[in-house]
Amino acid sequence: MKKDASSGLLTKNKLGEIPEPDQHEQHYLEVVKAFARLTYESVYLIDYTSMSFEYVSENPLFLCGYSAEEVLQLGYEFYFRQVPEKDMELLTMINEVGFDFYARIPAPERKLYSITYDFHLIDKDGKLRLINHKLTPLFLTSSGKMWKAMCIVSLSHHQTAGNARIYKQGSIEMWELNAGKKMWLKSEKPVLTEREIEILRLHAQGLSINQIAEKIFVAPDTIKYYRRRIFERLEVNNIMDALSYAVNSKLI
């Protein structure tokens, strides 16, 4: 896809000002690098003053066969090389409606919000992988625009691209994107009972249905009943997707 066809991805939040970090912000990059060493997910930082990447971790999921240094140098060009055209159009739309939503949030609250969505990357061998991309503000300008953002990349638990949601820290509220209407629809995070959360955590430890039943002193059919309720609440079809959804949505 040509860059002028997706100019919204490049210009929707492009800044005319070049901010100066406060003293307490000087060492943030070392903190981000330390976090990247501890997580299995890919981590990178966007700098909107230059529409570039300030840092890219060495986790291979996001790199598509490149080195972290090569992706760092490519910056936004990386998207144009590695994202299929249809998904690039989707990213442009999410960028536009996402920043429109962001502009309506009171400036003091903007750091509390994060956005998550899925899109495909093409690796050097031409293979597609569906990834989940989370983005949250790191620094804002004095006028409240997003100056730098932290991004986390993991494998998606969905089957298709899109699935854009906005979350507010400390709130059960969330907003889901209706792509056809380009509108954010307000809803709430699904709520799990303490027993359902316990069963998910035991599954995360690798326990089977029978082992979980024995551990919490119920019949295996009871565990199967709870699993079905979890799948219905989270709108997933299997336990791996349930775990992924629950972790990504901070339900467990």
CATH of the domain at 63: 3.30.450.20
Strand pairing category for 113-122 and 162-168: antiparallel
- Kindly state whether residues 180 and 199 are assigned to the same domain: no
Question: Which of these three, 154, 170, 188, is where a domain ends?
Answer: 188
- Kindly state whether residues 132 and 243 are assigned to the same domain: no
For 53-83, b/e burial (b = at least 16 CB within 10 A) is: bbbbbebebbbbebebeebbebbeebbbebb
Question: Which of these three, 138, 160, 188, is where a domain ends?
Answer: 188
- Kindly state whether residues 108 and 52 are assigned to the same domain: yes
- Kindly state whether residues 142 and 28 are assigned to the same domain: yes
- Kindly state whether residues 133 and 235 are assigned to the same domain: no
Low-confidence ranges of the chain (pLDDT < 70): 1-26
Distances (CA, A) of 5 to 11, 14, 16, 52, 92: 12, 17, 22, 19, 9
- Kindly state whether residues 22 and 66 are assigned to the same domain: yes
Specify the CATH number for the domain of residue 202: 1.10.10.10
**pLDDT reported for residue 106:** 94
The pTM of this model reads 0.82
**pLDDT reported for residue 161:** 96
- Kindly state whether residues 39 and 19 are assigned to the same domain: yes
- Kindly state whether residues 199 and 177 are assigned to the same domain: no
Question: Which of these three, 162, 188, 214, is where a domain ends?
Answer: 188
Return the DSSP state at 229. Answer: H
- Kindly state whether residues 181 and 154 are assigned to the same domain: yes
For the stretch 62-105, pLDDT in tens is: 999 999 999 999 999 999 999 999 999 999 999 999 999 999 99
- Kindly state whether residues 237 and 122 are assigned to the same domain: no
For the stretch 193-218, pLDDT in tens is: 999 999 999 999 999 999 999 999 99
Task: Please tell me the total count of domains within the chain.
Answer: 2
- Kindly state whether residues 85 and 169 are assigned to the same domain: yes
**pLDDT reported for residue 232:** 92
- Kindly state whether residues 15 and 134 are assigned to the same domain: yes
**pLDDT reported for residue 4:** 46
Query: Which residues fall within 8 angstroms of residue 140, CB to CB, at 6 or more apart?
Result: 107, 110, 111, 146, 147
Per the structure, the complete domain to which residue 243 belongs is given by 194-248
